[in-house]
Amino acid sequence: MKKYLIVFLISMVPLIELRGAIPYAVGFGLPIVPSIIVSVLGNMLPVPFIFLFARRILDWGKDKKLIGGFCRWCLEKGEKGGRKLEAKAGAGLYVALLLFVGIPLPGTGAWTGTLAASILDMDFKKSVLYVLLGVLLAGAIMLLASLGVFGAIDLLH
């Protein structure tokens, strides 16, 4: 149970998300299906809060002495992600959001994608749905990659 809690918490961490949680679960030999479920739940838990509150909090904090730099960095990251989505997507903005979240590259993921959707004033329910689909895609990619890496390591022993 402790390892599942760790998987859940890792999947909630910005920039790491389930991209780190799934390899952890596979590396420790946890059963795949419960690990994926726990990772997806942990990754998705912050999404509605990010969409509804992060932009307001970051706007409020961008001029504060102690947190201003971090808040400005987050806003810039969300705005940059949003502009990238808009430029590439056109009418397929939600599909672009799904791919942005789903293809596990540095700086992409549920946190950044949700913040970008919020900054772009995209529809809440539709954004959450497409972020979820992106998280599922990222989970599948990370599972296949993790099984490949850890499978190769097992062959070496």
CA distance 1 to 122: 37
Torsion sign across C-alpha atoms 49, 61, 68, 85 = positive
Over residues 5-19, mean pLDDT: 95
pLDDT in tens, 101-156: 999 888 889 999 998 899 888 999 999 999 999 999 999 999 999 988 766 555 55
Its pTM stands at 0.85
For 10, how many CA atoms within 13 A lie in the half-sphere containing its CB?
Answer: 19
pLDDT in tens, 28-38: 999 999 999 99
